[in-house]
Structure 1
Amino acid sequence: MFRKMSKEIDLSRRNGSSDEHNKKPSIRSSYSWIFCAVLIGGVSWFSYQGYLETRVNSPLDENKVIFPVSPDFPERYWGSFRPGVYFGMKTREPQSLLAGLMWFMPDITSGGNLNLRHLCDQGDNLEQYGWREHDGKNFGVQVIVDQFIQLETTFVTKLGGNHGGDWTARIHVEPRMKDLAGKKVTLFFYLTLDDNGKGLFQPIRMIDNMDVSNLNSSNSVKYLGLFAVHGHTEKLGDFRVSFHHTDEQSIVHTAYLSTNVASPNLVKDVLQSGLRLMEDKKSKERHISLAGALFPKEDTIKQPNFVVHQVTGKLPFQLEVVYESNNFVERDTMLRGETYDFLLQTYRKEFRNQFETKFRLAEKGYSDEEQEFAMSALSNLVGGIGYFYGSSKVQSVHNKEPVPYWNAPLYTAVPSRSFFPRGFLWDEGFHNLIISQWDREISFDIMAHWFDLMNVEGWIPREQILGSEARAHVPEEFVVQRNNQGNPPTFFLVLDTMFKNRRVRDISTLELEQLNRLWPRLVCWYNWFNTSLHGPEPGSYYWKGRETASIRELNPKSLSSGLDDYPRASHPSSEERHLDLRCWIALAAKVMASLADIIGRDGRKYREAFAFLSDNELLNKQHWSPTSKRYADFGYHSTNVTLRRPKANPGQPRPDKIRVVIEEPSLRFVDDTFGYVSLFPLITEILEPGSPQLGQLLTDLRNTNLLWTKYGLRSLSKSSPLYNQRNTEHDPPYWRGPIWININYLVARALHHYSKIDGPHQVRATLLYNELRENLITNILREYQKTGYIWEQYNDSTGAGQGCRPFTGWSSLVLLLMSETYV
């Protein structure tokens, strides 16, 4: 029995052994398949991660919207496209030739400080500067009021050839006080090349073009400057820039500098390093003078990329700089003197006629002074249009470090030449509410450049810091743009006003073509907002980026909303519902539906989206607080949060204040805050005319304890806990009380809209509109007359201009208030 069992066991072992032997290939095969699957999965995962990393800086694969500049639009090829300098010229090309102006007054300055002016700088404390007239194409007239002198810088372009033609710049300097006549002022006019620009400069000295035998020692010192510069670049071909002094008796001294500069943002430093103190041996007169050719000894080629002409003259005097393209066809006379005067006056007359045709201010009874102010507002905005080229720094959640965007051009207006001389996405929508009324072609050109910056996700970086000149003046913390953050889509405001109530047969063929080119990018942009910023339930949206707040912030900022430190829910979360963003997307859906009808696209889903987002019942359910009877954000919120300073350790510096939450947050309406965000259902005109909520809003609007002042609407009500409160120990309030003109304009526009619609609130809307409009115009004009500037914001207690100056971006909307231009 035992043997039998043993045999059976042995047999089973043998059989089992045989089965295991037979199974080994199958097991090995399974392991191989598993290994291959893991390997393929790993490779796929890493490949997909690599793909995700590249999306943030991959351009959208659609046709470009930008039309070529030259020869199709030669009138916008040359221009004052360097808004960050007091005066400068450049082309709309990468690596352009750059021209610019610097000056100082040696007789007045003391302590060895030249006070050399170049970049628009608030620290220069100029009493006023800005364009008085500028049409965006052909000419500009600017007045700069320095402490003791006044400069008038003008330019005129003249078309001819294939490279934008010729231009001339004239700088006229005169004393502001009679007893300063005869005092000396030094001007520097320079030529250089934009980043990575390649070109040739050949300076021609004045003394080389004169009969040297007739010069005494005094004159030889006087005539050390440049007669002309001959140059060549790939885009411009050959050109000549010549310098002319209209009254030689006023000229005391000329000089030049010929050297190399590593970057255009260093030209002031390099120029200053090339200054020397020189003395005339005969007259013993001393001059601060450029030193001529300055190159290292080892530089045997001595090919300059930075050339400066210096002229020191006795007040008053004038310098003319004439740029002539070698490609100009049939040039009659040089563009200077009487020829220049005639063309400039022709353009000025055309500008004023066009201004009145567009805005009808004389017809409305405005005084000459008020019309000059309005023309200056427009001219500073249009004259503040710049051309930039370079790449942004961007980052997504899939990138460990910031990566460069692709190199691209940007033609855009800037908010402030002194403080923000670069492109901002949401500002540009407000800018073009004005520009599109002045020149629709320029507006389309600007929009085309912005939309060509769109990546494959449909995202556009909200702040554009392109090129070394722009990058040099921006703190590093603001340079990197993150692809989960996008400014309000204000270009839909522009497109709405440009095409509202217009029949297809009244729209030009060119504009229809431009809309068709723009459409695929508008679709992607709309989709990015609708999908990337959606909230926890249908119809809800929230601005991202707040969750990265530091412990020093009283209320985490929402920079991407454009309203920066405007109070939101105290504790950022994905449960938030932001009222303003919902309204922006409702507006976008409405405009998309309208444009689709114009160009024959299917706009059904946009009409449905607008109907859903503008539904007042749903809006009230998600954003109307029945307790406070106001529209509000929704999220995790505490009304008891403060900043407190931690105790310092012995021997350590005093620490910054940090946020302390005294009462834990709950999911609720942020209805302790009433301000600009609360007004967005009114601003976007989605409230029904008979809505009781509209009536309540209009009642609250006129309450002086809330938003109303005799200077405009403050950004945050006086009853709000964070009214005029610092967001950190070091950050003053920004959108927590001051009056901002862009939102005030939108409110005035909405009141005008409701004043034209029959309903229970029509009369109140009319009264509020008239009073608000008058308050805004009166205060902005008064501050301009008092200070010489249009300001970034206005104090809600005194009406005084504050923030940066000049701010001739969206504050220039005062022009549309004056002309009552809303569609």
Structure 2
Amino acid sequence: MLFGASNFTVLLVLIASCFAKKTTQESFTSKETLEQTFEQGTNSELLWAPYRSNCYFGIRPRFVDGTPFIFGLMWFDTTKFDSMTRLRHFVSDEDHLERFTWEAYDPRLGGRENIIDPENNLNLTIHFAKTHDDQNWIVRVNGKPLDPTLNTTTSVILYMNQNIGKDPEGPSRLMHINNGNTQDENTFEFTGISEDLGKYEVLINDNYGNYYTNDTLDSIEVVPGCNASRSSHVGLTIPDTEVWRARDIFQSLLTDSIKDIVKELGETIDSGLVPSVLTLRNLHEFDQGNFHYIQKTFDMREEKGFEFDVVYNNMDSTQTIDSGKQATKLINDAIYEINVRFDNHFDIEDTENTGDKRKFAMEVLGNLLGGIGYFHGTQVIDRETVLDEDQFESIKFEHFKEEGPYSLFTSVPSRGFFPRGFYWDEGFHLLQIMEYDFDLAFQIAVSWFNLIDENGWVAREVILGPEARSKVPQEFTIQSPQIANPPTLLLALSEMLTKLIENENELGFSHSVVDAEQEEGISSQLGSNFEYIIKYSKIIYPRLQSHFKWFTETQKGLIEEYLEDMEDDEQFQEVHQNFVYRWLGRTVTHCLPSGLDDYPRAEIPDVAELNVDALAWVGTMARSMKNIAHILGLEKDELQYAETERKIVENLDLLHWDSKTGTYCDVTLDAEGDDEMQRVCHEGYVSLLPFALKLMPRNSPKLKNLLTLMSDPEKLFSPFGLRSLSKQDEHFGAGENYWRGKIWMNINYLCLDAIQYYFPEVIAGSPETSELHDKEVSNMAKKLYNTLRENLINNVYGNWKETNYVYENYDPVDGHGTGSVQFTGWTSLIVNILRHQGL
């Protein structure tokens, strides 16, 4: 495994203890108390964070669905009339930011986000930190001009809303209480009450900064209420479901104000008044309401810039934030502890040889964690449309409706382009997150498993509510219970449990997890609450069973089409006919369910097509279920899943291995011939998945073939990582060119991990060596492992050094980043790979 040796051992001990068949009564003083302590502690620590992943900065509480408090941040330079086109709110590649990154982040503690916005001449740093009881938080916003000679402004718009919930007459409200009558008109105090959160206050205080002024004008108040030299406040009521439209509503209100100004003063307005013209006022005389805008416009002609704090205090807390000095200490303590935790888990040193790779790794991990969001709302589902042969041209889901509401706690692949939950991606995210915070990874996995419905289905994309749907093309919003996706959540679990079973005798179940935690500096409440995991596992196991059943039934292939033509083929007769699979929902051009969207398949789709990667993923599911059943002591289930895994492993060779090309291939009917079985071979990631998912026997002679394929620079090997498709394939780089040669971290990670699994001697100093392969093959594995690993690190790190970002994928020709920018989903697995640089 690419898990750290020592930390991974601790995790194994932890899981062993969590899933142990028997727990001694002496280990617990009160089961209910321990369960409550874990749940209350976790819910408290993870209550507040920037969980609105789609925003550059947006806060909402986790698990508060009825009456949450919502906070967000927007900004733009107001010196030009067209400035609103550069108003920032939702993360977007089209904003052309030079940088937006969490330099340090932990959802339990807080962090520091840095944003460099050249078009708005702004270097923005946002700190977020919480009190030790996790009830209160501070947001510190610091802005500096990139170039103070440009004479720009920075207008920051804060907005906050106390959702009313289902009862409009209920107590939930948010009121501005000082109404600008304090000595400082730029200081604000709000008081709020939420049925879910209780009573609280919000304080907004300036630390320093000069508001916009213009010495050439007698006054910059263009009309009453439009004065950029002081903060502006507008309160109104917005329906809970529309709060996410804060940017649109702001622009609409500001446009109304501008039109009124032009009507009153004419179109010729002094340029020095533009910042005031672009200041929001209460033109429509709204009542104060539950939704509030605060706009602060700072003069950016001095390098110092500005800084202000937003403080949220729960009135029942004994740890309220009462001073700027206290806020500074919370921020500094949070950053310090994040650094300590990171070093305890990854230990990546900056030396002459490694450069600033620690900073790189910390930012990549921070952005993965900073992309964790909490989503609540309805999902659009079509349960009626049946997929048949007509689907190959296009799939039309016309019988959809909204279901729910549902909730999901998840990381996202990319805050700018994919700010929602992806089943296919999340398992890879967890492989990274569990290295840093096992409890957090567990919470995310639990949230996903809770979405498995009574039929065993979970959507491939979980798009909850209008805010999440606003970032998704309409044709992709509808989810179908017939469409699957690679079950990577079970992959993550399987990887851990497989290693656990291999080390069960060595580790035992009596090892003291508390001692292990102290040795490794790992913080884990689960370490003292094994009973909770056992209890939950017994609850979730039937769901996993139904999910396995749903997957294997909906994706089952049609082997009958081949039986007559292959009746004389002895090898085919050995195929386990009930264990063949294909991706339902593929079209002529795409196979979205596979996750490898445009990877070439048979040119003419057929209902009898059998996909090697679908079979391999079912094998992974069977292995995972086998391991869970083993840990829970369910011997009958364990034998059943082991038998399924065995048959799938055999079918991979019997049905999908092509001796001519020496690789694994899809199977289909020859549409241009006599409907005979033929293998469709496109050397690339699909060919590697039986190896990457460790489904080949450890002594398989076919391993050499795949090592050769991965090592061939004319096919898959490149100076930047393994290509998704062979350079010699006719489809290489063609068409949409998404999975047709681009280098993707998730499959590269699996391949590195598999090399280490089959050839443990590739890790220097490893006590385990493989005696199943000759020296030539072992040396080939060592060379491939070391060069591939080095190439991946150098390329991803090099791109980050040059651009400040990591990417969705990388070009196979020159290695430059392509696809979505700041794709800190599975690309963050580079941190797992990097930590082994000293081995």
Q: Same fold (TM over 0.5)?
A: yes
Q: 1:665 to 1:812 in 2, by over 3 A?
A: farther
Q: By how many angstroms is 1:711 displaced?
A: 0.6
8 Å contact kept, 1:206–1:226: no
Q: 1:333 to 1:455 in 2, by over 3 A?
A: closer
Q: Distance in 2 between matches of 1:284 and 1:633?
A: 67
- Matching residue within 236, 241, 244 for 2:197: 236
Q: Which residue of 2 aligns with 1:390?
A: 377
8 Å contact kept, 1:85–1:118: yes
Q: Distance in 1 between matches of 2:403 and 2:37?
A: 21
Counterpart of 1:511 in structure 2: which amino acid?
I
Aligned residues: 695
Q: Which residue of 2 aligns with 1:564?
A: 597
Q: Which residue of 1 aligns with 2:53?
A: 83
Q: Which residue of 2 aligns with 1:375?
A: 362
Q: By how many angstroms is 1:362 displaced?
A: 2.0
Q: 1:533 to 1:428 in 2, by over 3 A?
A: same
Other structure's SS at 1:357 match: helix
Other structure's SS at 2:356 match: helix
Task: Report which stretch shifted further, 342-351 or 285-294.
Answer: 285-294
Q: Which residue of 2 aligns with 1:319?
A: 308
Other structure's SS at 1:355 match: helix
8 Å contact kept, 2:130–2:330: no
8 Å contact kept, 1:195–1:468: no
Q: Distance in 2 between matches of 1:613 and 1:284?
A: 72
- Matching residue within 295, 310, 334 for 2:295: 310
Q: How does 1:614-625 map to 2 (within 5 A)?
A: 614-615=649-650, 618-625=651-658
Q: Distance in 2 between matches of 1:713 and 1:105?
A: 44
8 Å contact kept, 1:195–1:264: no
Q: Which residue of 1 aligns with 2:822?
A: 806
Other structure's SS at 1:480 match: coil
Q: Distance in 1 between matches of 2:399 and 2:791?
A: 48
Q: By how many angstroms is 1:591 displaced?
A: 1.9
- Matching residue within 179, 185, 201 for 2:154: 185
Counterpart of 1:320 in structure 2: which amino acid?
D
Q: Which residue of 2 aligns with 1:576?
A: 609
- Matching residue within 173, 176, 187 for 2:143: 173
Q: TM-score, normalised by structure 2?
A: 0.78
Other structure's SS at 2:696 match: coil
Q: By how many angstroms is 1:704 displaced?
A: 1.7
Q: Which residue of 1 aligns with 2:535?
A: 513
Q: By how many angstroms is 1:623 displaced?
A: 0.5
Q: Distance in 2 between matches of 1:772 and 1:284?
A: 59
Q: Which residue of 1 aligns with 2:237?
A: 260
Q: Which residue of 2 aligns with 1:105?
A: 77
Q: Which residue of 1 aligns with 2:130?
A: 157
Counterpart of 1:259 in structure 2: which amino acid?
L
The yes-or-no answer on 1:538 pairing with 2:508 is no
Q: Distance in 2 between matches of 1:569 and 1:203?
A: 64
Q: 1:428-456: CA deviations, max 9, x gaps?
A: 00100011111111111111111111111
Q: Distance in 2 between matches of 1:686 and 1:701?
A: 17
Other structure's SS at 1:576 match: coil
Q: Distance in 1 between matches of 2:316 and 2:353?
A: 46
Q: Distance in 2 between matches of 1:449 and 1:734?
A: 30
Counterpart of 1:513 in structure 2: which amino acid?
K
Q: Which residue of 2 aligns with 1:18?
A: none
Say which one has the larger Rg. Answer: 1
Q: 5+ unaligned residues in a row in structure 2: which ranges?
A: 1-34, 213-228, 387-397, 514-526, 560-576, 761-769
Q: 1:623-682: CA deviations, max 9, x gaps?
A: 0112222210101356xxxxxxxxxxxxxxxxxxxxxxxx56954444441110000111
Q: 1:198-228: CA deviations, max 9, x gaps?
A: 63121235622239xxxxxxxxxxx3x5612
Counterpart of 1:305 in structure 2: which amino acid?
N
Q: Percent identity?
A: 31
Q: 1:667 to 1:293 in 2, by over 3 A?
A: farther
Q: 5+ unaligned residues in a row in structure 1: which ranges?
A: 1-64, 212-222, 550-554, 639-662, 727-731
Q: By how many angstroms is 1:292 displaced?
A: 3.8
Counterpart of 1:258 in structure 2: which amino acid?
G
8 Å contact kept, 2:78–2:274: no
Q: Which residue of 2 aligns with 1:246?
A: 207
Q: Distance in 1 between matches of 2:193 and 2:674?
A: 66
Q: Which residue of 1 aligns with 2:753?
A: 749
Q: Distance in 2 between matches of 1:625 and 1:434?
A: 34
Q: Distance in 2 between matches of 1:518 and 1:343?
A: 38
Other structure's SS at 1:323 match: strand
Q: By how many angstroms is 1:101 displaced?
A: 0.4
Q: 1:467-490: CA deviations, max 9, x gaps?
A: 111111211110111111111110
Other structure's SS at 1:308 match: strand
Counterpart of 1:797 in structure 2: which amino acid?
V
Q: 1:563 to 1:688 in 2, by over 3 A?
A: same
Q: By how many angstroms is 1:273 displaced?
A: 2.5
The yes-or-no answer on 1:202 pairing with 2:175 is yes
8 Å contact kept, 2:234–2:288: no
8 Å contact kept, 1:742–1:811: yes
Q: Which residue of 2 aligns with 1:472?
A: 470
Counterpart of 1:733 in structure 2: which amino acid?
N
Other structure's SS at 2:233 match: strand
Task: Report which stretch shifted further, 166-175 or 185-194.
Answer: 185-194
Q: Distance in 2 between matches of 1:89 and 1:231?
A: 16
Q: Distance in 1 between matches of 2:813 and 2:339?
A: 36
Q: Which residue of 2 aligns with 1:137?
A: 108
Q: Which residue of 2 aligns with 1:778?
A: 794
Q: Distance in 2 between matches of 1:333 and 1:563?
A: 49
- Matching residue within 676, 690, 699 for 1:690: 699
Q: Distance in 2 between matches of 1:557 and 1:183?
A: 48
Q: 1:369 to 1:685 in 2, by over 3 A?
A: same
Q: By how many angstroms is 1:183 displaced?
A: 4.1
The yes-or-no answer on 1:272 pairing with 2:251 is yes
The yes-or-no answer on 1:227 pairing with 2:188 is yes
Q: How does 1:448-459 map to 2 (within 5 A)?
A: 448-459=446-457
Q: 1:493-536: CA deviations, max 9, x gaps?
A: 22133332254445741433343332221111122222221222
Q: 1:536-573: CA deviations, max 9, x gaps?
A: 22331111012xx3xxxxx4411111111111222333
Q: Distance in 1 between matches of 2:632 and 2:174?
A: 49
Q: 1:691 to 1:333 in 2, by over 3 A?
A: closer
Q: 1:462 to 1:112 in 2, by over 3 A?
A: closer
8 Å contact kept, 2:164–2:173: no
Q: 1:286 to 1:132 in 2, by over 3 A?
A: closer
Q: Which residue of 1 aligns with 2:9?
A: none
Task: Report which stretch shifted further, 191-200 or 444-453.
Answer: 191-200
Q: By how many angstroms is 1:342 displaced?
A: 1.6
Other structure's SS at 1:803 match: strand
Q: 1:372 to 1:149 in 2, by over 3 A?
A: same
Task: Report which stretch shifted further, 536-545 or 243-252.
Answer: 243-252
The yes-or-no answer on 1:357 pairing with 2:344 is yes
Q: Which residue of 1 aligns with 2:43?
A: 73
Q: Distance in 1 between matches of 2:401 and 2:353?
A: 52
Other structure's SS at 1:269 match: helix
Other structure's SS at 1:256 match: strand
Counterpart of 1:85 in structure 2: which amino acid?
C
Q: Which residue of 1 aligns with 2:665?
A: 632
Task: Report which stretch shifted further, 490-499 or 393-402.
Answer: 393-402
Q: By how many angstroms is 1:696 displaced?
A: 1.0
Q: Distance in 1 between matches of 2:112 and 2:291?
A: 26
Counterpart of 1:311 in structure 2: which amino acid?
K
Q: Which residue of 2 aligns with 1:818?
A: 834
Q: How does 1:655-674 map to 2 (within 5 A)?
A: 666-674=675-683
Q: Which residue of 2 aligns with 1:48?
A: none
Other structure's SS at 1:454 match: coil
